[in-house]
Structure 1
């Protein structure tokens, strides 16, 4: 890393450098500090200095937010060293992600069914209709008379 990116002799980064590294606004890092997610060291002038552990923490926050976790849940997860408590914090998020992944996979199958259909109108294709019925459930369709 170049010194122009905020390095110091101690191998820490300035708030601007870490924000640039993760494509964040500096106020986001300040907010995360305010809510207890980050605790950067301070230099003699009181400026924030971020080390390797802070980089890991920022990356973890971003990944967890991308997965749908809110800052309160992330703070609770960071705030415990007890394995069972960490599992209790993350288990609902894992369940929600599994559900979202299953829904996305089912949607992808429908899209691919439409892409692979040779009918003029994919909604008239028996294979596509089967996919729709499987996705929506047979109880969703009116009974034929």
Structure 2
């Protein structure tokens, strides 16, 4: 493989990924790709940047933040193109995040019609599951959806 085969200009990368050139530049400013510079300062991207940017698109589709995507991609080697073992490792981290999201979405789906510890106390059930808004002691937000358990009637609310 010659050096011209190993790198490509931004226009070719845009064509290979389906991204606009401006999007690739944005991802560069966010540290998701790091092109080298050719004669005259033109960006030169590695072939492996096609996969990196494809991963970015998939991760964004699943709701991952640029910051989290950057953290995941930071585990890949800079000195060489990522190999199968590298992508397997990053996929395991990605999978762990997705599993946590699936668990949260399942809780939301299963508890959407009951008290979720949000403090609104608008359902009659809330008087049983969250009397006096005791869930608030755990912090802000829908405490039961976030993993807190309802405090049994007669038990003292935990101090946070």
**Is the aligned partner of 1:12 residue 2:17?**
no
Q: How many residues align?
A: 104
Unaligned runs of 5+ in 1: 1-7, 107-133
1:43 offset after TM fit, Å?
1.3
* Structural mapping, 1:127-138, within 5 Å: none
* Structure 1 pair 90–71 and aligned structure 2 pair: CA distance change class (3 A): farther
Moved more, 90-99 or 34-43: 90-99
| Pairwise CA RMSD | 3.6
The one-character-per-residue Cα deviations of 1:19-47 (angstroms, maximum 9, x if unpaired) are: 12222221111111111111012212211
The one-character-per-residue Cα deviations of 1:69-120 (angstroms, maximum 9, x if unpaired) are: 0100011112236x6xx84x863443114544x58xx7xxxxxxxxxxxxxx
- Secondary structure of the residue that 1:10 maps to in structure 2? helix
Q: Distance in 1 between matches of 2:112 and 2:5?
A: 58
* Structure 1 pair 137–51 and aligned structure 2 pair: CA distance change class (3 A): same
Q: TM-score, normalised by structure 1?
A: 0.54
Q: TM-score, normalised by structure 2?
A: 0.49
* More helix by percentage: 1
1:64 offset after TM fit, Å?
0.8
